[in-house]
Amino acid sequence: MLLLLLGIIVLHVAVLVLLFVSTIVSQWLIVNGRTADLWQNCSTLGVQSSFQCVTSSTNEWLQSVQAMMILSIIFSVLSLFLFFCQLFTLTKGGRFYITGIFQILAGLCVMSGAAIFTVRHTDWQPDTSDTSFGFAYILAWVAFPLAVVSGVIYVILRKRE
């Protein structure tokens, strides 16, 4: 039981870390040396390799991606908080419904954010042949199934003692 509990918490924290990293790190898109993320476009200029960043555009879709990522972090943190609350208040045999619902919501938010980014990134980044998605984008997609799985585990899980 304790091992299961520990495993769930580790999974939840892993999801949170993935969400934070993918939201913050500037590696959503890589266009020949320039990197772009939800917040800024960075590039290495010249031989002295001075790193320069400018804020990204105010495109509506980009803003909704940002909003979705922030919402998923909020929901996931809230879910972790509620899990600890429910751990001490739930009666024996109860299920962690609320915790699970919020975690699944976080997963859905990440999914919609990443999906919007996939479809709409050409609106604010001119589409060139050497555009590739960076690791932060992949982490966001990895975070989605993990969040949903941990949410489903919360819903299935019954409190033992």
Partner 1 sequence: MGSQGTSGSGSLVLVAALFSALVLAPTWAIHVYTHREVHGTVGDQVTLACSFWSSEWISDDISITWLFQPESGKDTISIFHFVKGQPYVDEVGAFKNRMEWVGDPHRKDGSIIIRNLDYTDNGTFTCDVKNPPDIGGKSSQVTLYVFEKVPTRYGVVLGAVIGGVLGLVILVVVIGYLIRYCWLRRQATLQRQLSAMEKGKLQRSAKDSSKRGRQPPVLYAMLDHSRSTKSASEKKSKGGLGESRKDKK
Query: Site for partner 1 (CB under 8 A): which residue of 58, 89, 91, 128?
Result: 58
State in angstroms the smallest separation of the CB of 27 from partner 1. 21
CB nearer to partner 1: pick between 30 and 155: 155
Beta bridge partners of 42: 35, 53
Report d(CA 73, CA 68) in Å as an integer.
Answer: 9
Give yes or no for residue 110 binding partner 1 (CB under 8 A): no
39 binds partner 1 (CB under 8 A): no
The nearest distance, CB 26 to partner 1, in angstroms, is 17
| Residue 67 is a binding residue for partner 1 (CB under 8 A) | yes
> Which two tokens mark 62?
């980009």
Near partner 1 by CB under 8 A: residue from 80, 105, 114, 139: 105
Please say which residue, 40 or 132, places its beta carbon nearer to partner 1.
40
Decide if residue 68 touches partner 1 (CB under 8 A): yes
The nearest distance, CB 99 to partner 1, in angstroms, is 13
The residues that touch partner 1, with contacts defined as CB under 8 A, are: 55, 58-60, 63-64, 66-68, 70-71, 74, 105, 109
